[in-house]
Structure 1
Amino acid sequence: MNDDGNESPKKQNPNQPQPAWGSDLIAEMMRALGLRYIALNPGSSYRGLHDSLVNHLGDKRPQILLCLHEEHAVSIAHGWAKVTGEPMAVALHANVGLMHASMAIYNAWCDRVPIMVFGAAGPYDASLRRPWIDWIHTSRDQAAIVRPYTKWDDQPMSIAASLESMNRASVIARTAPMGPVYVAFDVTVQEQPLALTAGHDDAIPSPARYELPAEAEPNSASLKTVVTFMRDARSPLILMGRVSRDPSDWARRVALAEAFDAKVITDIKTGASFPTNHALHVGDPGYFLSHASIEALKVADCVISFDWIDLAGTLRQAGRHRDAPKVVQVSLDHQLTNGWSFDHQALAPADLHIAAMPDTVVAALVAHIGAPIGLPPPDKTTNPVCTQADPSSALDPETFAAALGAGLENEIVSFVRLPLGWLGGSWHFKHPLDYLGCDGGAGIGAGPGMLVGAALAMREGARLPIAVLGDGDFMMGVSALWTGAHNKVPFLIVVANNQSFFNDEIHQGKIAQQRNRPIENKWIGQRIAEPDIDIAGIAQAQGLIGIGPVATAKTLTDAVLEGVARAKAGASVVIDARVLGGYGASMSKGMTKA
């Protein structure tokens, strides 16, 4: 239905079989690059491209995903990339759209995921600008806004240069270490007419002629050194960080750990990387090390870091920054280190640094030592650790996880996001799609968009995409959910609603305690109450199913059962779960310790 209550207009068949405008070729290039979707919020700076996507390509490959905010468009592409490992296209309107999207681009940068971000500007020729509006939407160096946290950018000034830039951007975004790229198209380039001559397809450079660089392989000397280090160690330890979603890679990681009888630590910042119920897995995955993980690291005499986020900080947590064990660093991340952002973390020691993809090195090591490789993990039903809770109990973190587990007991699910208060030991991850990791840059508001993108990527599979979101994250990104409902993408959100920016309550409590001031005031400027927010109502207003609020174990389990049934029938569902504030010990200590 449209705004007048009438049926929405139907999509017409494309009436322009041959490219006639510059933007037609740009749209054809997007299709040639294999971009299935383009997430966007409309803007006049790329009106030519928008027309070409709709009336030249017929809104197919790429299909438009209409978004209500540019930040959500990038977050949706981020979620897509976390599942597929491939980029989605995003279109941003001039400098204003790019500024809106900048936080989400930074998230994608920190999370090392590929996104093809296309912008628009101009006319760069000042004599062609409309009064007022074209001037405030044009900047001399538009990409400067995001250059410190993109892999590459360009501002091509002709159609031939634009097509070449798109090819280059695709290769750069998808080459490890991956990340977002940005290309801005001048309005005049988009809207210039083309001479319709035979052989116009020759203007589209074939992406097949611009393949990704072959992955670097570890040399035999490096492999022998790693094997010697690990076999000589009494307590070898593996830190499993940013790795692939491939089940075969998962099986090889298990084989490597078993071959060396090495303990394995995982965290919650990255996606599931190793079975948490395996005998060699130690500690609960979290944003910071658990007590058991710290103890394992304290006695380790050889550590292999497979692109672990913040290796130096992790060693410091265990008191090993001055007495570091023998360290092997397997990562390409140093290639993205720059002088603007400190997302590269502190400088970590490395007795051997192998500049290659982690799973490439794992495969080479397994082959080198001839370790037997088991079968890839199957998609199985969910595996909560906390399986029972008093039905009338309020929803503290442990009860929340137990009640959620009871509702999901027979389902195959993928957790797209988990909140800061999640207890890492409350759930077992036994498949690389069981959990997809955090947003990378810790930018609140990314969760809803990332869920929509991930759920879109999993729409044809057997898994039910689920996000457990904080109420602050939900409210900042809530209008991203309209895009999911509009495109009939099934998923389930459970909002862990403590009605507060609770992490900052902890910070304010610590500061008050240090200064001998009333800790009872920590809630002021933090609580999201008076008036209460109708989470379920906000979901319903955007065409989703809204359930709740619920506040006990039984009512949450019942709501989850209902939500699962609705989602499996094709709906987008949101549950408002009223939870008590609380973090695990490692989280509380890690987030507030200076």
Structure 2
Amino acid sequence: MKNIERPAVTPSNAAEWGSDVAAQMLRVLDIPYVALNPGASYRGFHDSLVNNLGNETPQMLLCLNEDHVVSIAHGYAKATDKAMACVLHSNVGLLHGSMGIFNAWCDRAPMIVIGATGPVAPEKRRPWIDWIHTAKDQGALLRDFIKWDDEPRSPHGIVEAFLRGAQLTNSQPTAPVYICLDAGLQEQKLDEPMQVPSTTRYQPATPPRASRKDIEAVAGLLASAKNPLILFGRGGRSREAWDNRVKLAELTGASVMTSIRERAIFPTEHKLHAVPPFYWLSPTAKEAVRKADVIVSFDWVDLNGVLLQMMRKTEAYPAKIAHVTLDASLHRGWSMDYFALPPVDIPVVAGADGFVEDVLTVLETRLAGKSLWKGDNRNTAPKPAYTPNAETEMGPRDIEVALAKVRGNQTFTLAHVTIGWAGDVYQFRDPLDFMGHDGGAGLAAGPGLTIGVALALKDQNRPVVAVLGDGDFMQGVSALWTAAHYGIPALFIVSNNRSNFNDELHQEAVARMRGRPPENRWIGQRIAEPVIDLAAMAKAQGIASEGPVKTASELEAAIERGLAAVRAGRPYLIDAHVAPGYSNPPLSRGE
């Protein structure tokens, strides 16, 4: 990453102004980066980052849109399980960035979002502009999709707000927090010198563990089951947690399923990984669920949604079900991201990774270390193979096949994929192999998420690759300037079907339900006449690019060129034209 934008002269690091206290809190909290799009409401804070801290620890990352400010911090959290900071200008910047905050909320990603308002004191406001950028309760705009918020009224209040915010956002279940800084307080000179405290006594709590009763009960279910099924949903990035999941599956002989919406959590090449990571249950996946007499969910998102694909009255589902999650502590009434209530025989309020460890310990004793798995292969993933017409017109799945073929045994991180990703040939082998989806299905996130992941992994010698939909890319394209400016290497592949294709399917579903012509589904959806030059859009942001690439062999060669650029420390973009369609069509209402 380029070491740029360092001030020529940096005065004393002593805190002299209210905003100096806020900036120094980020430093003592060990926040390495703060993404921002400038705004006058936090001009004092901006000055403190530059002229009090020297734009170092944290370093500012200039973005061209508040969407990217948040999505970069979101991507960083995906790769590290730690909060980064981002700053949003009063009212208008917060409104812009709120979609990204919602994505991070639904994805349960830690993040310290810093906002600004005011000045709160009316006599300090400039005519017009300061009035429309002052709010009585700015946190009300997003309080239903953040974990906590505060608007401190004193320098000491700033210290407490940052200590509490960091503690809460990094405690499970993680989610964004919001701290709003009054412009007047930022620009207030301190009455006396102020010492920013150590964070040693304000660390996040260890995730709660389950009771012995619950651990024994779930261990008993798994030990006695004839066809156990484990659903691994959310989980941490540590190698220890990854290995414990594998040990649990092998000890119990349970089939395993994972979600393409979540980060890599289990080796998808393993013989017990029954079906490729999925959005919706395939016929093969439904058969695996149907056979299960015991289902144990480890923080699976929308457990009842899985059962609903099997039968409508899920309260009568025959399998015994255990559900391990802390998520209910975040549930409230505004957003329905808590999903339908699942029927659960053993509800467990505990961190998923800790519970895997606890139940594994009990089972190793109970089974005397003898595995219940007979070594049979339940993995149904096919070998990578292109669609028949891939040298004429690529299908969306051909991008996945090309990546799998080029990758071989190399180590990559797949930062993002499209909604129509097949997930059946590109395998996940370690905790950093895949970073999941955007959480809240808000477009424009993919480019920023990729940059955040690449920022977090820039020293790990593993190329970061993303496959983006053309709609997502076009709405988030100006995020690429930040990657170019700071030298953040990532390979962006745009799966370009020149359509808002997800909505084509919805229009077809409505037309069929109403007995109207489904062949009109494309009207108001296709992005053509003219076809947008996505490679030129990337070049305009300072990123090397190529395309449109239209055949599988061309794509493989382009990926090799892109990876060479990334390994040399530069971002790169490929515009890959594919036929309109999905490898795995989404469900539509009424179908």
Aligned residues: 573
One-letter amino acid of the structure 1 residue matched with residue 275 of structure 2: G
CA offset at residue 385 of structure 1? 3.8
- CA separation in 1, counterparts of 2:306 and 2:6? 55
Greater shift, 561-570 or 111-120, is seen at 561-570
Aligned AA for 2:581?
A: G
Partner of 2:91, secondary structure, is helix
Contact 1:385 1:427 in 2 (8 A): no
Distance (whole Å) between structure 1 residues aligned to residue 5 and residue 21 of structure 2: 27
Paired residue for 2:407? 408
Give the distance between the partners of 2:241 and 2:352, measured in 1 at CA: 10
Matched with 2:314 is: 321
| Aligned-partner SS, 1:494 | strand
Question: Shift of the alpha carbon at 1:384?
Answer: 9.3
1: CA distance, partners of 2:247 / 2:404: 29
TM-score, scaled relative to structure 1: 0.93
What is the CA–CA distance in structure 2 between the aligned matches of 1:475 and 1:408, rounded to whole Å?
Answer: 27
Q: CA deviation at 1:410?
A: 5.3
Aligned equivalents of 2:404, 2:222: Cα separation in 1: 38
User: What secondary structure sits across from 1:29 in the alignment?
Assistant: helix
**Alignment-derived partner of residue 486 in structure 1:** 485
Residue in structure 2 matching 1:13, options 9, 12, 15: 9
Q: Helix, strand or coil for the counterpart of 2:207?
A: coil
Report if aligned partners of 1:481, 1:542 keep a CA contact under 8 Å in 2.
yes
Which residue of structure 1 lines up, in the alignment, with residue 441 of structure 2?
442
* Match of residue 376 from structure 2: none
Pairing 1:168-567 to 2, within 5 Å after superposition: 168-195=164-191, 197=193, 200-201=194-195, 204-319=196-311, 321-324=314-317, 325-370=319-364, 385-387=383-385, 392-409=391-408, 411-567=410-566
Tell me by how many angstroms 1:272 deviates. Answer: 1.1
User: Does the CA contact (< 8 Å) of 1:384 and 1:428 recur in 2?
Assistant: no
Q: 1:304 to 1:121 in 2, by over 3 A?
A: same
User: Structure 1 CA distance, aligned partners of 2:85 and 2:361?
Assistant: 37
Q: Which residue number in structure 1 is paired with residue 375 of structure 2?
A: none
When residues 9 and 367 of structure 1 are mapped into structure 2, their CA distance, relative to the original with a 3 A threshold, is: closer
Alignment of 1:57-68 (within 5 A): 57-68=53-64
Question: What CA RMSD, in Å, does the superposition of the two structures yield over aligned residues?
Answer: 1.9
Deviation at 1:205, TM superposition (A): 2.8
Structure 1 distance, partners of 2:492, 2:42, is 33
TM-score, normalising length from structure 2? 0.94
Partner of 1:156: 152
Confirm or deny that 1:126 pairs with 2:122.
yes
Contact 2:6 2:54 in 1 (8 A): no
Measured after TM superposition, the shift of residue 223 of structure 1 is: 1.4
The residue matched to 1:577 in structure 2 has which SS?
A: strand
Secondary structure at the aligned position of 2:86 is classed as strand
Matches within 5 A, 1:47-196: 47-195=43-191
Residues 305 and 330, structure 1, Cα contact 8 Å, conserved in 2: yes
Cα distance change of structure 1 residues 278 and 373 upon mapping to structure 2, 3 Å threshold: farther
Q: Are the equivalent residues in 2 in contact too, given 1:255–1:373 (CA < 8 A)?
A: no
Work out whether residues 112 and 166 of structure 2, in 8 Å CA contact, stay in contact via their aligned partners in 1. Answer: yes
Q: Which moves more between the two structures, 306-315 or 515-524?
A: 515-524
Q: Percent identity?
A: 45
Question: Residue 213 of structure 1: CA displacement?
Answer: 2.1
Partners of 2:303 and 2:14 in 1: how far apart?
A: 54
Q: How many Å separate the matches in 1 of 2:54 and 2:91? A: 27
Change in Cα spacing, 1:426 to 1:373, as seen in structure 2 (3 Å) is: farther
| Greater displacement, 143-152 / 244-253 | 244-253
Preserved contact between residue 83 and residue 245 of structure 1 (Cα < 8 Å): yes
Q: Is the contact made by 1:389 and 1:402 (CA closer than 8 Å) also made in structure 2?
A: no
Amino acid at match of 2:326: L
Secondary structure of residue in 2 paired with 1:309: coil
Q: Does 1:26 align with 2:22?
A: yes
SS at match of 1:94: coil
Q: 1:114-133 deviations in whole A, cap 9, x for unaligned?
A: 00001011111112111000
Tell me the distance in 1 between the aligned counterparts of 2:559 and 2:407: 7
Instruction: Map Cα deviations across residues 84-124 of structure 1 (whole Å, 9 max, x no partner).
Output: 00000111111111100000000000000100001011111
Equivalent position SS for 2:575: strand
8 Å Cα contact 2:394-2:577 kept in structure 1? yes
Question: Quick one: distance in 1 between partners of 2:383 and 2:325?
Answer: 32
Contact 1:39-1:74 within 8 A present in 2 as well: yes
Structure 1 residues 449-507: Cα deviation after superposition (integer angstroms, max 9, x where no partner): 00000000010012111100000000011111111111101110110000001011111
Using the TM superposition, give the Cα deviation of residue 408 of structure 1 relative to its aligned residue in structure 2, in angstroms. 2.9
Contact 2:269 2:429 in 1 (8 A): yes
For residues 279 and 389 of structure 1, do their structure 2 counterparts lie closer, same or farther at Cα, with a shift above 3 Å needed?
A: same
Alignment gaps of 5+ in structure 1: 1-7, 375-382
Q: Shift of residue 209 of structure 1?
A: 1.4
SS where residue 424 of structure 1 aligns?
coil
AA in 1 matched with 2:9: N
Cα separation, 2, equivalents of 1:9 and 1:472: 32
Amino acid in structure 1 at the alignment position of 2:469:
G
Q: SS at the partner of 1:209?
A: coil
Structure 2 residue ranges without an equivalent (≥5): 372-380
